[in-house]
Amino acid sequence: MKLPFAPLARLTSALLFTAVTALAAPAIKIGFLVKAPEEPWFQLEWKFADQAAKELGFTLVKIGATDGEKVLSAIDNLAAGGAQGLIICTPDTTLGPGIVAKARSAGLKLLAVDDQFIGANKQPMTKVHYLGISAGKIGEDVGKTLAAEMKKRGWTPADTAVCAATFDELATAKARTDGAIAALKAAGFPENRIFKAPQRTADIPGSFDATNVLLTQQPNVKHWLVCANNDNGVLGAVRALEGRGFTAATAVGVGINGTDCITELEKAKPTPFFGSMLLSAKSHGYETAKMMFHWIKDGKEPALDTRTVGVLITRENFRQVLKEQGVRD
């Protein structure tokens, strides 16, 4: 059949095609909300998420939200701005049910990162997609490292004690310090020489204050082994120990994150901060963003629960490992 006005028909169908594709695939916009935007760990998550946005071609909206009110208004703003997905490390895990409800009514796909939501029944919300660390296992590796360093130095249990700066309100934090304590006990460290220093806030001042209380209560300990929820927890404890005259020769601390202790490891003179379990900021930033992108674009649902691992960095190897992981140039 001979088509009259063929060029016009072609033009119309081209226009139609553009309109249909525009309708079928609106620009993808993803929010990435973190609880502590000033911490290097979260800045790195964002950096890697940005990398995914650039490579895959979507808009990333980075939001720092330090309390529940900010989280809820951020979700409203994201929805109003046409976002289709939210990746979140919430400042308060018990907000979980509220965040789920709000995201659902705003039509946002939801992926919790780092800190798993806690439901009204106080249990983890396992139906909400989550990517976090193998907290117990990584904590155990901290404990094993501390036990090995103690042995290397020839310290005896009689003049050594463990300071665990804890933040038990957060499940992943509790699992980490519980893991470290369990590994120390398994290595033969006496339970009555293991002391918890509960932090009021999960930051350096929080662990500095908590550790100072413990050090006042235990003035006769010669050597300290230190573990905590993350690098900041160990850093605060180390600052408190230094205030009482402890040095790298008399105290050993091992952190978690590996991203918030770089300046510490770069110091010319070693401090009691011995090393850290480096987590994969790339998995937590780049991979989560990629998962969310494909979920929105192709309907490919991510795994419900993904756990990442950690590797020990010390003054010996941190430059090399950070370079390999793309954390440092």
Q: By C-beta, is 221 or 277 nearer to ligand FCA?
A: 277
- Cα separation, 253 vs 142, whole angstroms: 9
Instruction: Name the residue nearer to ligand FCA (CB basis): 29 or 174.
Output: 174
- Please give the structure tokens belonging to residue 148: 């090995």
Q: Could you say which DSSP state residue 118 is in?
A: B
Helix segments in the chain, DSSP class H:
6-24, 40-56, 68-80, 96-105, 135-153, 171-186, 204-217, 231-243, 262-266, 281-282, 288-298, 318-324
> Closest separation between CB of residue 51 and ligand FCA, Å?
18
Closest approach of ligand FCA to the CB of residue 132, in Å:
7
Q: How far is the CB of 106 from ligand FCA (least distance, A)?
A: 24
Distance from C-alpha of 246 to C-alpha of 239, rounded to nearest angstrom = 9
The alpha-helical segments, DSSP class H, found in 187-261 are 204-217, 231-243
* Residue whose CB is less far from ligand FCA, 138 or 147: 138
Cβ atoms of 325 and 262 within 8 Å: the answer is: no
Look up tokens 């105290």; give the residue.
251
Closer CB to ligand FCA, residue 42 or residue 274?
Answer: 42
Q: Could you list the residues that contact ligand FCA (CB under 6 A)?
A: 41, 89, 114-115, 133, 172, 202, 230, 256-257, 279
Angle, CA of 189, 195 and 200, to the nearest 5°: 145
Q: How far is the CB of 267 from ligand FCA (least distance, A)?
A: 21
Looking at residue 27, the DSSP 8-state letter turns out to be P
Minimal distance in Å, beta carbon 36 to ligand FCA? 7
**Alpha carbon separation from 189 to 17, 147, 212 (Å, rounded):** 70, 8, 23
CB of 203 to ligand FCA, least distance (A): 9
Nearer to ligand FCA, 85 or 255 (CB): 255
Nearer to ligand FCA, 172 or 207 (CB): 172
